[in-house]
Amino acid sequence: MNLIIASNADSASINLRERLLEMSSWTKCGKYDGNDMWEITENQGDYCRKGTRLISINNIHINAERIDEDYEKKQNIKINNIIFLSRHKAASGKPSLTVHPIGNWGKAEYGGEEGKITPTSPKIMTSLLREIKKNQLEGFDVCFEATHHGPLLNTPTIFLEIGSTENEWEDELPAQSLIKSLLEVKYIDGKNVVGVGGGHYTPRFTEAALTHKVNFGHMVANYGVPFVNTKVLRNAMEASNAEGVYFHKKAMKKSVYRQIKEELGNENIPVFEQADYSKIA
């Protein structure tokens, strides 16, 4: 069973939840956290299969630690994947539609735990990015974000976000675009990789995902690279069901790139180049 989680403490999340209920067929199936719980009644794309559930929580989602365990215990049901509906906030104020994995390479300043990451689902997240790009609104950026913030869970989880100001969070058009993408997403197979290097908005990884059959799991931006070693990257690969690592090497210090690549080679961890991926037809 796939799960979608909205937060009553987040206006973008409420907006996305209401568009989801409007644009597809759901039936009430109980309560969670004092709020109505919904179950979709027909297959809508590859994620929202019949039986997928939608819940709302009262707390802000980055602090919903181990909500998967709590939900599974109370509902006596196994969750396969989780998508949080969320706002994205940026100092630039640039309108954006993003998806990203969660966890902390270093300190846990916004939920989760220091140095711990939540499993993610590369095929779902990357296929969703492609669908969002297909439905892109004029004036909005479409991109991945690197792994950041909580909560810490055991279930493969991604965030689906509207950015970057209150104007966009409460606007129905970007919410409709994201929900259309969620309801119509079709998964594309490809190599699962962990991305290392570059900025928070992962321009190289986003570009590669939109043009080639490669699915990104966890991504480490340059600010997270100081926390990276082969143990951390093995853990990131395991949490992403990944085959190897892909670098945005031109955005990294050459000495840092060479050191990490050499350490990966010593541990027989594959490093991929774009030429290793097939182009999307």
Each domain of the chain, given as residue ranges in start order, spans 1-188, 190-281
pTM: 0.98
Q: What is the average pLDDT value for the chain, to the nearest integer?
A: 97
Segment 218-246, tens digit of pLDDT: 999 999 999 999 999 999 999 999 999 99
Segment 64-90, tens digit of pLDDT: 999 999 999 999 999 999 999 999 998
Q: For residue 94, name the pLDDT band (cuts at 50, 70, 90).
A: very high
**Residue owning tokens 């919410």:** 175
CATH architecture observed for domain 1-188: 3-Layer(aba) Sandwich (3.40)
Given a cut of 90, whether residue 281 has pLDDT beyond it is no
Domains 1-188 and 190-281 share a fold: no
CATH architecture observed for domain 190-281: 3-Layer(aba) Sandwich (3.40)
